[in-house]
Chains A and B, each alone.
Chain A
Amino acid sequence: MTPIQFVLLCLVAIGGTVAVLTRDPRRQVLLVGLNGLLLSLLFLALQAPDVALAELAVGSVGVPLMILIALARIERRPK
């Protein structure tokens, strides 16, 4: 394992844990997106650029935005 792979692996582990331990959904969304970015860098370091590309588009843009939209929708629900 190269040092870059090791560092990224640790960062992904830390990022995922922090995202789980955060309780505010809005902050959580941002952390999930950041973790998606770290994951795609890790995939790149592991020589899987195609997976990195998919993770970048889905994990750091698509998923966070859909969660944000869902959150906005829930907050608008009439009581």
Chain B
Amino acid sequence: MSGWLRQTMFVAGAAVLAAFLLRALGCLPGFGECRSAYRDYLNAHAVRERHSQNLPTAINFDYRGIDTIGEEYILFASVIGVGVLLREPRRMKPAPPHDVVPADRSLHEPLVHLSGAMVGTIVVFGIYVVVHAQLTPGGGFQGGAVVGTGLLTIYLAQGHEVFARIVRKPVVEAAEAVGAGGYVAIGLVTLVAGGAFLENLLPLGETGTLLSAGTIPLINLAVGLEVSAGFAALFVDFISELHRSAEETDP
């Protein structure tokens, strides 16, 4: 295909696309003016019905609980995909410890100490976000992402060797599987107990307390485990790939 023809086709296509986009933009409701019956209903009734002060959590893990399973398994599938792409070739010996980040510790001393001091704080904060899913903003996904990032800070502070010793691949993989399976298992238990799949059958407790909102905290624990372990598995795969290739090139 000649350059001229390609350019003409691009310009024509882009013009049509721009026209549709502008038309759609004109039809959008004004900023902050979106109204929906579903939203009004949930704002009026969700706290009374589910005893969860955090409405996004009540929607994600109860009203639309099945959709969230799909969301969780997107992450699960991505992590498995990375694991398959970066899997260790069978004959290759595991790379001996080789710290890339703090090659010269004295240069990075402040970063090393700051990161080391922050690991615990970040992980504890992540766990706090997970267990307060029905009370404060956030939940299993957000808390899990924070915990995973906190574990990554170990790598920044101490390098590959310590990271690999603390964040072990088999443990992380098992935790991820338990978290992902746990969500579905909770749904199956509600089926066996005579309800609909993922129906909130547990006692709802007192609104505003840690043990309230029925199955919502349990599901969030499972999701938090899955997400934090999923993130950790991603980081382990990427970091061990980096250090394996370091071994290959400069033996």
Contacts and interface: CB of A to CB of B under 8 A. Distances in A.
Q: Is the interface of A mostly helix, strand, loop or mixed?
A: helix
Q: Quick one: which of B31, B142, B245 has the most chain A CB within 10 A?
A: B142
A53 B32 contact: no
B231 interface: yes
Contacts, number: 57
A65 B137 contact: no
Interface residues of A, number: 18
B248 interface: yes
A65 B236 CA distance: 12
B81 to A, nearest CB: 14
Given A62-B148, A62-B149, A54 B234 contact: no
B137 A53 contact: yes
B142 A69 contact: no
B139 interface: yes
A77 B245 contact: yes
A62 B245 contact: no
A7 interface: no
A57 B235 CA distance: 13
A57 B123 CA distance: 12
B28 to A, nearest CB: 14
Interface of A: 1, 49-50, 53-54, 57-58, 61-62, 65-66, 69-70, 72-73, 76-78
Interface of B: 31-32, 54, 56, 100, 129, 137-139, 141-142, 145-146, 148-149, 152, 231, 234-235, 238-239, 241-242, 245-246, 248-249
Closest 4 CB pairs of A and B: A49-B137, A57-B145, A50-B137, A53-B142
